Amino acid sequence: MNRATFNKICCLTDSSDLEGLRQAIFYYVLVAAIVTVPVFGGLRNFMFGKYAIAKASLIAELILILSFIVYKKGKCGYAKLLLLSAVGLLLLSVVCQGIQFMYMWMALFPALSFILFPSETALFLSIFFGIAVFVVDYLVHRRIGGRELYFLQEMLIFYVFMVAGGFLYAKVMERQQFLLKWLTSKDELTGAVSRSRFLENLEKEIPRAKRYDVPLSFIMFDLDNFREINKTLGYEVGNSFLRQVVRAIERNIRSADVIVRWGDDEFVVFAPHTDIFGAIKLANKLKGVIDSVFSKVGGKITVSMGVTSMKKEDTVEEVFRRLDEALYLAKNRGGNRIESLE
């Protein structure tokens, strides 16, 4: 297991907008659990002679109260982990009690995991708990065979489907949230993401990318001699070409990539999960796309591009200083070319 994978598994919170929603849900679940566990978990099961569950409910209540205290101290990640531990303890007590029809409650663990934690962390916790359930069931009941084996197989299939479904759903939610935050503020003229919104989101993306060793690449391009269109054909025609450039690029980049209007006729393409070699390849592709847009005006308008990728020690300012320098090299060497700096 490499460091990036380990960091993903150990991430109890993240810096995305989803974390705020997770914390809100956690708070209400925690309060509801503190109120209901003593009654429905402790008292009710004690009255019906389910002493293993009743005892576990008392311990779980103490863990829930500790979770609330930790939450109030601002350690939300650890508080969520304590809540999940209390739930896991209650579910394992059902196994110890041997009430098979209540095993359906095991699905509560992955459901809560994927609600409260980032997808990789929730997946690890769900797998760990699933193994714990089957180990405890075997150690307590020692009846692997016949109907018990068939029952455990059915439980395993059900649990695997729950975990797989939860993981896919969490991934889709994280992906949609990632895309949504880039689309909430666009440049009115071209439809590209505005510079201010891009920089605001990038300040959050760079620390996360460094933590998980995710490569981030940037392409900055400037339209050579674009002012000639404005002078000879008018600003409306020039604006129409800018919109065509943005639409053409959007059709030729991935859904995770973002095009940003950086200046009048200057744009940035942000390509996450792309190294410098992939970014240079993408730049060559996009240059051909842009050239085709301006081919109708006789090739008088060309494009110069600068390419760079984020280094581990980079700040936002250092990335764009290097990106500006790469674009300057392309312009200074005659334009209509691509230059890269690592």
Q: Which of 83-87, 169-173, 241-245, 260-264 shows the highest mean pLDDT?
A: 83-87
Q: Encoding tokens for residue 241?
A: 């070409």
Which two three-digit tokens encode residue 103? 């095993």
Does the pLDDT at position 101 exceed 80? Answer: no
Percent of the chain with pLDDT over 90: 35
Name the token pair of 318: 């250092």
Q: Is residue 329 scored above 90 in pLDDT?
A: yes
- C-beta of residue 260 within 8 angstroms of C-beta of residue 267: yes
Confidence of residue 189 (pLDDT cuts 50, 70, 90): confident
- d(CA 302, CA 293) in angstroms, rounded, equals 10
Asked if the model's pLDDT at residue 4 lies above 60, the reply is no
Q: Could you give the 3-state DSSP secondary structure of residue 14?
A: coil
pLDDT of residue 79 exceeding 90: yes
Angle at 27 between CA 21 and CA 31, to 5 degrees: 150
Output the average pLDDT for the chain: 84
- The predicted model gives 64-84 an average pLDDT of 92
- Determine the Cα–Cα distance for residues 68 and 82; give it in Å rounded to an integer: 9
- Looking at residue 74, its pLDDT comes to 82
Give the pLDDT band of residue 80 (cuts 50, 70, 90): very high
CA atoms 128, 42, 76, 162: torsion sign: positive
Nearest to 226 by CA among 337, 328, 63, 336: 336
Please name the residue ranges forming H helices in 233-315: 235-251, 276-294
Please give the residue that has the higher pLDDT: either 292 or 5: 292
pLDDT value of residue 180: 59
Contact status, residue 297 vs residue 264, Cβ threshold 8 Å: no
Examine the pLDDT at 285 and tell me if it is beyond 80: yes
Please name the helix (run of DSSP H) or strand (run of DSSP E) that holds residue 298, with its range, or none: none
* pLDDT at res. 182: 54
DSSP assignment letter at 48? T
pLDDT digits 0-9 by tens, 287-303: 999 998 888 766 678 89
Q: Which residues pair with 193 in a beta bridge?
A: 186, 260
Average pLDDT over residues 80-90: 94
Cα 13-16-18 angle, rounded to 5 deg: 80
Instruction: Please indicate whether residue 197 or residue 4 has the higher confidence score (pLDDT).
Output: 197
* Closest CA relative to residue 323, chosen from 242, 263, 252: 263
Instruction: Give yes or no for a contact between 225 and 304, defined as CB atoms under 8 angstroms apart.
Output: no
pLDDT tens digit string along 197-208? 888 888 877 887
Q: What is the mean pLDDT of residues 94-118?
A: 86
Which tens digits make up the pLDDT trace of 141-188? 765 555 666 777 777 787 888 888 888 877 777 666 665 555 556 777
Classify 260 in phi/psi space as left (phi over 0), alpha (psi -120 to 50) or beta. Answer: beta
Identify any residues that bridge with 267 across adjacent strands, giving them in sequence order.
Answer: 221, 261
Length of the chain: 342
Let me know the angle formed at the C-alpha of 213 by 197 and 168, rounded to the nearest 5 degrees.
75
What's the confidence (pLDDT) of residue 297? 65
Which run of H or E residues covers position 309?
Answer: strand 302-309
Q: Treating both helix axes as pointing N-terminal to C-terminal, what angle do 51-72 and 17-36 enclose, rounded to 10 degrees?
A: 140
Judged on CB neighbours under 10 Å (0-12, 13-18, 19+), 195 is middle
Is residue 125 exposed (0-12), middle (13-18) or buried (19+ Cβ within 10 Å)?
Answer: buried
Give pLDDT, residue 236.
Answer: 86
40, 147 contact by CB (below 8 A): no
Reply yes or no on whether the pLDDT at 46 is more than 60: yes
CA gap 115, 262 in Å, rounded: 37
Question: What pLDDT was estimated at residue 8?
Answer: 62
Whole-model pTM over 0.85: no
Cα separation, 106 vs 121, whole angstroms: 18
The residue ranking higher by pLDDT, 287 or 19, is 287
Q: Is the pLDDT of residue 3 over 60?
A: no
Does the structure show a pLDDT above 70 at 220? yes
> Between these two residues, 10 and 214, which has the higher pLDDT value?
214
